[in-house]
Structure 1
Amino acid sequence: MRRALFRRTAVAAVSVASLTLLVGACGADKPAAQASGAPAGGGSDAPGKGQEPAAKALTAAELEKVALAEGDVATHMIAAGKPADNVPAGSVKVDKPQCAPLADAMVAAAPGKPGASVVRKAIEKPAKMKLDPGASAEEKARAGLGALTQPVTVQRLASYDGKGAQEAFAALDKAGKDCAGGFDGVQAGDKIKIAKVTPDTVTGGDEARGWTFDMKAQGPDESDVVMKLAVVRKGGALSTFYTFSLGGTVKKQPVPVIEAQIKKLG
């Protein structure tokens, strides 16, 4: 699973970075500070969330209008997902059934039963990515390779009828607590071992949670990896943000991406 996931997302990172290099992307603005002050459970809950009216799911076309697009996040490059990104829930076989929601989020599978969902991929811009208009092919290639070590976030934005979003959020929240000791998974013959799942601070929307995953190497050609997962619900919309780096370690949640998506949901 690890190789398949990294390979699929690396292709997305290459395509996004290449697009930006072709138009001579400038250096990123200063990223927003990571949110803090949430409960020890790893997130935040808006007051009175239990009294929310039942939601009506957005159509696919309506969801596209509120999904992130290139230019929405100053610190990141954004690209739409491809048909191959529509991985069904349950495609990752885990040794602990209660951890399935987390494993699904790692491959951007839509949690629960949404009426519609879309995938976005965001790659954090390197601090210095400005290229002269006359940059050589070698200079562009070097800059592109540098971009590949930047954190990549795979986002699934989904819309639900009724209490579907709340139920999907609750399932992820419970999995984060039940699977603190880690879990093993297999997808298409590729194995992963999550040694531990620890809560992160994420705020925003009506409910928010975040976690850090410590993945252990499964072979001599691999190394330990640290990744991030966040989930945010706003009304009948739920978004998961899975972030990893080909460089091996992700140090922070993609706060600018999360904040931009919440703002766009209105």
Structure 2
Amino acid sequence: MRTALVRRALLTASGASLALLATACGPSDGAGAEQDAKPSAAAPSPSPTPEAKALTAAELEKLTLADGDVRDVKIAKAGADDVAKAAEVTTDKPECTALAQAGGLAPVGAAVTTTERIGVGKPSDPADPMSVSATSVQLASYDGKGAEEALASLKAAGQACGGGFTTTAKGEKTTVKSVTPSAVTAGDEAAAWTIATEDEGEALNSQMVAFRKGNNLVVVHTIRFDAKPPSAQAFIDAQVKKLG
């Protein structure tokens, strides 16, 4: 949910070098995130055991999206300036903290290991550099039921923060005007939200999708810079395939 991502994405779309884009309130590129008024009812899903252990950094890296995994998208590691620590994310409404952290690419809950990637697509209209989307993907692994708990905190924040909130990540302030649950199916359980934000007077609609696979949690966050609806389905499908 940071203005820096918007600036970097526009530079990239204009033909500048790929600057690592992270953490804007981006509508998740998701055909799998249909923008319904209410989240879909989820069937009972496999639950991690209390003894489950988080993946090591090396193990998690093998399951992380790489360049070439999503067609016509350049994927790269998020830079240190793009990834916030939990303590670097603040909000005026404590109940919204989980969403604010996810928007700042900070770990949600007690994540043991994480990886972060940024994907930038090609402009759908070569004459319009704004016809592009940028997507951040964070993959986090937890001990025990940590992934379940993290996703539950995101769901609770989505319900509690419909009227919006203000968040600051690494010194960059974003005003979230509204958070609207939407429907999604992915992994063992999932949730999605359409998020309307305002950064330095710029109004943006974005969508975030979070899904759990075992004791791993994925947050996919997509923003599109023209009026067309964003879709993160390709990222969701690619990440689900890697997780197996």
Fold similarity call, TM over 0.5:
yes
Q: Does 2:204 align with 1:225?
A: yes
Deviates more, 1:193-202 or 1:76-85: 76-85
Q: Residue 259 of structure 1 is aligned with which of 223, 237, 244?
A: 237
Q: Which residue is equivalent to 1:199?
A: 181
**Which of the numbers 219, 223, 227 marks the counterpart of 1:240?**
219
Distance in 2 (alpha carbons) for counterparts of 1:63 and 1:217: 33
2:117 and 2:188 mapped to 1: Cα distance?
A: 21
Q: 1:158 to 1:8 in 2, by over 3 A?
A: farther
CA distance in 2, matches of 1:242, 1:122: 10
Tell whether the 8 Å contact from 2:177 to 2:198 is kept in structure 1 after alignment: yes
Q: Which has the larger radius of gyration?
A: 1
Partner of 1:134: none
CA distance in 2, matches of 1:206, 1:236: 10
Aligned-residue offset at 1:124: 2.3
More moved, 201-210 vs 82-91: 82-91
Paired residue type of 1:258:
I
Work out the CA distance in 1 between the residues paired with 2:35 and 2:2.
31
- What's the counterpart of residue 25 of structure 1? none
TM-score by structure 2 length? Answer: 0.82
CA distance in 2, matches of 1:40, 1:224: 21
Contact 2:124–2:131, Cα closer than 8 Å, also in 1: no
Q: Matched residues, percent identical?
A: 39
SS in 2 for 1:42: coil
- Gapped runs of 5+ residues in structure 2? 20-28
Distance in 2 (alpha carbons) for counterparts of 1:110 and 1:66: 17
Flag structure 1 segments of 5+ consecutive residues without an equivalent.
18-31, 130-141
Match of 2:136 in 1: 154
Q: Determine the structure 1 residue equivalent to 2:25.
A: none
User: 5 Å matches for 1:75-154?
Assistant: 75-127=72-124, 146=129, 149-154=131-136
Instruction: Give 3-state SS (helix, strand or coil) of 1:168's partner.
Output: helix
Displacement of 1:63 in angstroms is 0.6
Count the aligned residue pairs.
233
Q: More relative contact order in 1 or in 2 (CA 8 Å, sep 6+)?
A: 2
Amino acid paired to 2:116: V
Amino acid at match of 1:80: K
Cα RMSD for the two superposed structures: 3.0
Indicate the SS of the match to 1:204.
coil
| Mapped contact 2:137–2:220 kept (Cα < 8 A) | yes
Match of 2:22 in 1: none
Decide which structure has greater strand share.
Answer: 2
Residue number among 63, 66, 85 corresponding to 1:66 in the alignment: 63
Give the structure 1 partner of residue 26 of structure 2.
none
- Going from structure 1 to structure 2, the CA distance change for 1:206 and 1:41 (only over 3 Å counts) comes to farther
The residue identity in structure 2 corresponding to 1:196 is S
TM-score, length-scaled by structure 1: 0.76
Task: Show CA shifts across 1:108-143 (max 9, x none).
Answer: 1111122211001111233477xxxxxxxxxxxx7x
Corresponding position: 1:3 with 2:19: no
* Residues 84 and 33 of structure 1, relative CA distance in 2, 3 Å threshold: closer
